[in-house]
Amino acid sequence: MKKLLFTFATGAFLASGSVAQTNLNLENWTGNECDGWGSINSFMLIGAPQTLFQETTDPGEGVNSARIETAFWQGATNFGAPSDTVSGFLTLGGPPTSPMGVPYTDKPVSISFMYKSNLATGDTAAIFGQLSHWDNVLDSQMVDAQTLLFVAGVTTTWTPVTLPFAYFSTLNSDTLQIVCVSSKGTLFGTPLGIIGSELWVDDFMINLPVGIDEKDDNIKFSIFPNPTSDYVTITNGSSRSDIDVDLFDINGKLIQSFTDVKGGSATISRNGMAKGVYMVRVTSGGKQVIRQIIFE
């Protein structure tokens, strides 16, 4: 339980082959648990606080949303927590005493959802998605793609977000994980959460390419330099096909686009963009690849 509950995100998440998931809009609840999702509420019988709540007053979509809250749990350190302050979390598949994630074999381009926040000053929430597959040789779950959003401060209205997946592998995934935490220390170990921080989420959607049958890492292009401090150049390595290039920030906002790059290159200048990770989507011949670039 120590690894699953408090440090599960320092490595690859585990897969589950026994959970079917259709409740991505968070409409269906049984008691204080959201059907098909897991939370610390599973440990309330041994003294854990309720950290996941069914929100009906101001749902983002439909009649129900989820609210997760960072709270105090006397004795949480006995279960591996760094302190008795524990982040609320909501994880697709669960509960946290069992492997997390659901069987999934498609290659989505992004995850969409809605959120609100009421986070204590100095605290940060996180919404994390991951695709992975089981490697029989290594006897381990291997990461294929990830997406991540950090949330800080107070957001009083429901905010829609689309997060593109960054793919690290061309292998076929078998598991999808989505994890939402009201204090990011639950995922990354530090900093410690602050009691009272709240995160609302609703209406998750897994977006497949529109009119695109598959992701194809054989699209011929290069990205250089990466990481970079000023600019990055996307070069089309094939004179026989055009490529379209789209740049997104980590929140899924489209920053720049280039269409019909014909056997040449497109230069993405930093132009005041903040340091951090961005996503480049390259589309050619009805197929696409998503890669990360880093501005230092």
Is the confidence at residue 251, as pLDDT, over 90? no
CA dist., res. 25 & res. 266, Å (int)? 38
The residue with greater pLDDT, 95 or 186, is 186
Fold assignment, 2-207 = Jelly Rolls (2.60.120)
CA dist., res. 154 & res. 157, Å (int)? 9
Report for 109-113, 125-129, 214-218, 254-258: range of highest mean pLDDT: 125-129
Is the confidence at residue 283, as pLDDT, over 80? no
CA dist., res. 195 & res. 70, Å (int)? 5
Looking at domain 214-295, its CATH class is mainly beta
In 3D, which of 207, 213, 208 has the Cα closest to residue 285?
Answer: 213
In the chain, the percentage of residues whose pLDDT exceeds 70 is: 80
Judge residue 156's burial from the number of C-beta atoms within 10 Å of its C-beta, 0-12 exposed, 13-18 middle, 19 or more buried. Answer: exposed
Q: Would you state the structure tokens that stand for residue 236, as one six-digit string?
A: 């089309």
Judge residue 265's burial from the number of C-beta atoms within 10 Å of its C-beta, 0-12 exposed, 13-18 middle, 19 or more buried. Answer: middle
87-109 mean pLDDT: 77
| Domain range summary for the chain, segments of one domain joined by + | 2-207, 214-295
Is the confidence at residue 5, as pLDDT, over 50? no
Report for 100-109, 189-198, 238-247: range of highest mean pLDDT: 189-198
pLDDT for res 11: 30
In 3D, which of 33, 22, 39, 64 has the Cα closest to residue 205?
Answer: 22
